[in-house]
Amino acid sequence: MKVKLPKQVNQIIQTLQAKGYDAYAVGGCVRDSLLGREPKDWDITTSARPQAVKELFSHTIDTGIRHGTVTVMQDHVGYEVTTYRIDGEYEDARHPKEVIFTGNLLEDLKRRDFTINAMAYNETTGLVDAFEGEEDLKRGVIRCVGNPHERFGEDALRMLRALRFSAQLGFVIHGATREAISDLAPNLAKVSAERIQMELMKLLTSDNPGVMGDAYELGLTKVFLPEFDRMMETPQNNKHHMYTVGEHTIVALQNIRPEKTLRLATLLHDVAKPVCITTDEEGQNHFKGHPEEGESMARQILRRLKFDNDTIDRVCILIRWHDERPSLSERVVRRAMNRIGADHMEALFAVKRADTLGQSLYERDRKLAYIDEFEGLYREILKKNQCVTKKDLAVNGRDMIALGMQPGPRMGEVLDRLLEKVLDAPELNTREQLLALAEQEINK
Ligand code: ATP
Ligand code: MG
């Protein structure tokens, strides 16, 4: 397979070369091209210093001048152009504390994490592959450039990156690299939550989220998600299950779309089972209250990992209701939609299906048929445009004021009463009928 550079990348490289500098496409874009995958972005590495890069292009952004990175805009797309460098210790996602610029491409490739990420390419020289990166791509292997213990010692995040790339590419981690992770896993504690979150999400939303199991075995989850270790160690002796909580979670992850909220909710849906476990006289396990307790644990965990509030709220709603099983009538489903929020229902059905597929075969068909029917009723309610929240009511606060009410808690109560009636009997949701009902309520 050959690397095909986009026109804009070639323009940048050729402009630099015309001034006597070396320049190459490097890292992820070369790796993905050789794999026949579409690169997400194209990074360029050059012998030119940042100031020289800035002078050569009309439109640039100082992305990380201190670390040698200038973004060059070509046709409204940004390309990161970074000066060849040797790294000191890393302080955040991409920026080592101190860098030394070098004129030597090989020095720059040597600082990169894995052989498959340490290749460079331009059309004059072709592929520069000093560490058998192309061989490792063919073999499907993640292997450190140089001594794995040293490389993970410099930047502990690389251990989690190894698992992330193994999940995204379906590759195995080379023996010595794997051993080094197992030895140095506790060092991940030195890495910021933001950097961990970024790699965790790439792993979790990959084609192989089951790599979470390797993260556990190698001792990495123990550092950033010890709750997952408890899940891996918690049995589920009852007819619905055939795996530990952790293994069940992994199978569920493999059965849900790779979307951030869905994968996070699935990862944490049973996070409270280890603390809610009880055993009855027959030796069967029960996990009463785990969705509620799970919601509060998940909130803490996601805050600790520095997720944004919107993500936390959505994930927590799905965890809170993942075990909800209303009886199947439109009336009861309307009430469920009111409690859960109509916007969360589709995601909830996905979580429920994945959860079921991670359980034993006991009554599986019935469980899946139940979810289908639940979803069918939900769709029917949407189609009929029925009211499930206060804001869907045919009357509002202004109407109550027109009826002589003062704004305040009492007004909220009257609207709540109207909603109660409409949830039971959707045909009541007309302005005329609700105004009449409101009047009765007010005069009570
Ligand atoms: P993606 O396609 O997910 O962006 P990528 O390989 O481009 O994957 P980035 O995190 O964007 O990954 O990093 C770009 C390149 O920088 C990598 O290919 C690698 O060569 C180098 N690199 C990034 N992070 C590190 C690190 N922590 N240690 C060493 N090299 C790194
Ligand atoms: Mg990248």
Write the burial class of residue 226 (CB in 10 Å: 0-12 exposed, 13-18 middle, 19+ buried): exposed
- What local confidence, expressed as pLDDT, does residue 380 receive? 98
pLDDT at 305 over 90: yes
pLDDT digits 0-9 by tens, 25-69: 999 999 999 999 999 999 999 999 999 999 999 999 999 998 999
- What local confidence, expressed as pLDDT, does residue 56 receive? 97
3-state secondary structure of 23: strand
Partner residues linked to 71 by β-bridges: 61, 80
- What local confidence, expressed as pLDDT, does residue 1 receive? 61
- Cβ 172 vs Cβ 140: under 8 Å: yes
pLDDT at 345 over 70: yes
Find all residues with CB under 8 Å of 41, minimum gap 6, and list them. Answer: 28, 29, 79, 80
Residue type, 431: R
Ligand 1 site residues (CB inside 6 A) read 27-28, 40, 43, 90, 94, 112-113, 117-118, 155, 157-158
Q: What percent of the chain has pLDDT over 90?
A: 95
CA–CA dist 12, 25 (Å, integer):
10
- CA nearest neighbour of 378 among 411, 415, 348: 348
Mean pLDDT of the chain: 96
Question: Nearest residue CA, atom 9 of ligand 1?
Answer: 28
Residue of 84, 87, 112 best suited for mutating to test ligand 1, as the one with most atoms within 8 Å of CB: 112
CA–centroid distance, 133 to ligand 1, in Å, is 14
- What local confidence, expressed as pLDDT, does residue 88 receive? 75
Q: What percent of the chain has pLDDT over 70?
A: 98
Average pLDDT over residues 117-126: 97
Question: Nearest residue CA, atom 18 of ligand 1?
Answer: 27
Sign of CA dihedral 245, 348, 264, 294: negative
Choice among 17-31, 316-330, 401-415 with the minimum mean pLDDT: 401-415
Average pLDDT over residues 137-148: 98
Query: Which ligand is in closest contact with the Cα of 86?
Result: 1
pLDDT band at 87 (very low <50, low <70, confident <90, very high): confident
Residue type, 241: H
Question: Nearest residue CA, atom 4 of ligand 1?
Answer: 28
- What local confidence, expressed as pLDDT, does residue 98 receive? 80
Q: State the DSSP H helix or E strand holding residue 432, giving kind and residue range, or none if neither.
A: helix 431-443
Residue of 32, 113, 119, 147 best suited for mutating to test ligand 1, as the one with most atoms within 8 Å of CB: 113
Query: Which ligand is in closest contact with the Cα of 45?
Result: 1
Choice among 93-102, 142-151, 280-289 with the minimum mean pLDDT: 93-102
pLDDT digits 0-9 by tens, 163-180: 999 999 999 999 999 999
Model's pTM, two decimal places? 0.94
pLDDT at 93 over 90: no
pLDDT at 119 over 80: yes
CA–centroid distance, 41 to ligand 2, in Å, is 6
pLDDT at 130 over 90: yes
Average pLDDT over residues 197-224: 98
- What local confidence, expressed as pLDDT, does residue 393 receive? 97
Partner residues linked to 120 by β-bridges: 26, 128
- What local confidence, expressed as pLDDT, does residue 327 receive? 97
Provide φ and ψ at 398, rounded to 5°: -60, -40
Give the helix, strand, coil percentages of the chain, each rounded to 5: 55, 10, 35
- What local confidence, expressed as pLDDT, does residue 317 receive? 98
CA–CA dist 333, 383 (Å, integer):
14
Choice among 99-108, 138-147, 249-258 with the minimum mean pLDDT: 99-108
Catalogue the E-assigned strands of 280-323.
285-286
Q: How many CB atoms lie within 10 A of CB 389?
A: 12
> Interhelix angle for 157-169 vs 175-184, to 10°?
140
- What local confidence, expressed as pLDDT, does residue 90 receive? 67
pLDDT at 237 over 60: yes
